[in-house]
């Protein structure tokens, strides 16, 4: 199985194509292709490479994250990853799931609308992710399974005493203000990877 992963920063786009099987432990995925586009919104630098370390670099103007996704997919197409049955699905790191998304979710029009509606909770990050998702859906088609994974999900079961700010309760509820926790995807990866390393060391 091959999965394409997009990670949108405020002015960057990172991506990887990884190969994995159902029993593949965290950190043991096969990295088939990867890249980064930096300084999106101006004169950007593209740095792409595949598993054979064949690299490509170019400095061009990239207006937004949708354009960055198109650049990445154009390059992956030259490697054959966009041919029929080559990429099985696409995953996106989305910073903020607000109170709505407490687990990864299959993307559809309604999910996109909700992510956009809560973009004010992560102004610099959710909107770039939306641009990336929309661009990829146009190119890859509606048949391609796409999943959003949220940084806030890992911390969603924090006890109330840890997630509550010392502000009026009415204000907190009205504006959905509480400690969501961030970098959850990285925290989950480190936790699962440590568990694998610890179990093999015994």
Convert the pLDDT of each residue in 22-56 to its tens digit.
666 656 778 899 999 999 999 999 999 988 776 88
Instruction: Report the pLDDT value the prediction gives residue 127, as an integer from 0 to 100.
Output: 93
Instruction: Report the pLDDT value the prediction gives residue 56, as an integer from 0 to 100.
Output: 84
* Alpha carbon of residue 106 to chain centroid: 13
| Whether the Cβ atoms of residue 68 and residue 37 lie closer than 8 Å to each other | yes
Catalytic residue chosen out of the listed positions 50, 74, 88, 151: 151
**Is 151 among the catalytic positions?**
yes
Question: Whole-prediction pTM value?
Answer: 0.85
Instruction: Report the pLDDT value the prediction gives residue 163, as an integer from 0 to 100.
Output: 87
Instruction: Report the pLDDT value the prediction gives residue 201, as an integer from 0 to 100.
Output: 66
Tally of domains within the chain: 1
Give the range of the structural domain holding residue 74, as residue numbers without chain letter. Answer: 2-201
Rounded Cα–Cα distance for residues 122 and 169 (Å): 22
SS3 28: coil
Instruction: Report the pLDDT value the prediction gives residue 7, as an integer from 0 to 100.
Output: 96
| Whether the Cβ atoms of residue 76 and residue 82 lie closer than 8 Å to each other | yes
Neighbours of 198 (CB within 10 A): 9
89-94/146-150 β-pairing = parallel
CATH number at residue 69: 3.30.420.40
| Whether the Cβ atoms of residue 22 and residue 40 lie closer than 8 Å to each other | no
pLDDT along the chain (202 residues), means of 10: 94 93 69 94 93 83 96 92 82 91 93 92 90 96 93 86 89 84 82 82 62
Instruction: Report the pLDDT value the prediction gives residue 27, as an integer from 0 to 100.
Output: 61
């Amino acid at each position: 199985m091959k999965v394409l992963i997009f990670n949108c920063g405020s002015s960057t786009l990172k991506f990887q194509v990884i190969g994995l099987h159902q029993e593949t432990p965290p950190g043991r995925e096969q990295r088939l292709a990867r890249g980064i586009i930096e300084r999106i919104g101006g004169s950007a630098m593209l740095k792409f490479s595949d598993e054979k370390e064949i690299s490509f670099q170019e400095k061009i103007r990239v207006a937004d994250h949708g354009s960055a996704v198109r650049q990445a997919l154009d390059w992956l197409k030259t490697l054959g990853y966009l041919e029929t049955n080559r990429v099985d699905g696409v995953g996106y790191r989305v910073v903020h799931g607000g109170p709505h998304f407490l687990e990864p979710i299959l993307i559809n029009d309604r999910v996109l609308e909700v992510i956009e509606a809560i973009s004010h909770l992560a102004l610099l990050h959710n909107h770039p992710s939306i641009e990336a998702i929309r661009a990829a859906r146009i190119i890859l088609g509606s048949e391609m399974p796409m999943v959003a994974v949220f940084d806030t999900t890992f911390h969603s079961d924090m006890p109330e005493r840890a997630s509550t700010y010392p502000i009026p309760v009415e204000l907190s509820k009205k504006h959905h203000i509480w400690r969501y926790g961030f970098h959850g995807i990285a925290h989950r990866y480190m936790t699962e990877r440590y568990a694998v390393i610890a179990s093999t060391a015994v």
